[in-house]
Every structure is written in C-alpha cells, then in structure tokens.
Structure 1
C-alpha cells in the first residue's frame, strides 16, 4: 500500500459560517451535495453513492468552524477528510478549506472530485 499524502484546497464561498457549517456537519446537509444520501448514528456517518454505502467516523467538530471524518475502511489510520471554515479577519470573506489524503498518483483526481462536489455545494446555497 502506498503511503497517502495530505493535501488541502481552499474554496471561497459567499455564505455565513453558521449556514455553511450545516452543510458538512449534518446528514441532511451532506446529503444535499456530498452524497446521494447520508445517515448517522452518533459519531458514525453512512454515506451512500449509487446504492453503495461507506462509513465514516466523525473524529472532531467545532460548531460553525470544522468537522473531521475518517473513512472506516481506510487502512491508513492517520488519513482523514476535514471541512474547515476560514474567515478573513479584515475582509470577512469566507473560505471552505478541504483537507484530505490520497496516494500521490491520485491527488489530482481527488482535487477534481472535490472541485465538482464544492461546485455542487455552491450551486445549492447560491454562492
């Protein structure tokens, strides 16, 4: 197994942090743009795409700020994906920073997938 590398991408989004937070911290919010359907039981989240379910554990969260998940089937214990809201102190511009892990030869593809997903999110919230 190739070691995974951490990467980050930043997306400017015209939305308030509290509104944006709902879209990546709740099953209903995530189900609108990230997966076809999302269910949760406590800290376990089930993401469904085309009838296939994948489980992720919510590792950490902070209201209106961040949510961090780990795919249960990922053998790399250190790998996670995180949504983090960043607000510029001066301009008050809001950005969503995605942190994820992928094998070196899959990073570009992973970034493109995130760009598509975040494009969908922006479309939904009209940002």
Structure 2
C-alpha cells in the first residue's frame, strides 16, 4: 500500500466562525454542500452520495474551531480529513483550512475536489 501524502488548502470565507462551523460540524450543515445527505449517531457520521454510503468517525472536535474525521473503510489509520477555522488576529479575516490525505498521483485531483466543494459551500452561505 502506497503512502498517502498530507496536504492543506486554505480558503478565505466571509462568515463568522460560529456560522461557518455549523456547515461542517453538523450533519444538516454538511448535507447542504458536502454530500447529498449526512446522518450521525454519536461520533459516527454517515455521508450519502448518489445512494452510496461512507462512514467517518469524529476524531476530534472543537466547536466553532475545528472537526477532524477519519473514513472507516479502506483508509490507513494515519490519514484523516479536517476542517479548521483560522481567524487573523489583526484583520479578523476568517479562513477555512482543509487538511486531507491522498495518493501522490491524486493530490491535485483531491485539491480540485475540495475547491469545487468549497465553491459550493461559499455559494450556500452566500460568502
């Protein structure tokens, strides 16, 4: 099994951290832009796309700041994906930082996936 590479991408978003967090820290928020539907039972979130389901476990959560997930199937234990809000202390600008892992030859594709998803998120919140 080849080693996955960690990457981060930062997206400036015009929204308060509290409002922004609702869109990735809750199943209802995630289902508005990330998947067709999202359910959760405890720390297990179920993401549904076109009838197929994938489950992820919440590894770490800090309300209004960040949430980290790990896919339950087929992923190595070290990889995860994380949504993290960063606020510039001086300008108060808000950024959403995505951390994810991908095979070396799939990093660009994964970044494009996230860029498309975040475009959808920005459209959803009108940012």
**Normalized against structure 1, the TM-score is what?**
0.99
Long gaps (5+) in structure 1: none
Aligned to 2:63: 63
User: Aligned-pair distance for 1:74?
Assistant: 3.1
User: Aligned-pair distance for 1:8?
Assistant: 0.1
Separation of aligned partners in 2, 1:42 and 1:93: 32
Runs (4 or more) in structure 1 with deviation over 2 Å come to none
Aligned to 2:91: 91
Separation of aligned partners in 2, 1:4 and 1:41: 28
> 5 Å matches for 1:93-108?
93-108=93-108
Separation of aligned partners in 1, 2:112 and 2:17: 24
- Partner deviation per Cα, 1:1-22 (whole Å, 9 max, x = no partner): 2110100000000000000000
Q: Which has the higher helix share?
A: 1
- In the alignment of these two chains, the number of paired residues is 127
- Partner deviation per Cα, 1:40-96 (whole Å, 9 max, x = no partner): 000000000000000000110001000000000133100000000000000000000
Q: Pairwise CA RMSD of aligned residues?
A: 0.5
Long gaps (5+) in structure 2: none
**Normalized against structure 2, the TM-score is what?**
0.99
Secondary structure of the corresponding residue to residue 7 of structure 1 = strand
Aligned to 1:42: 42
Aligned to 2:80: 80
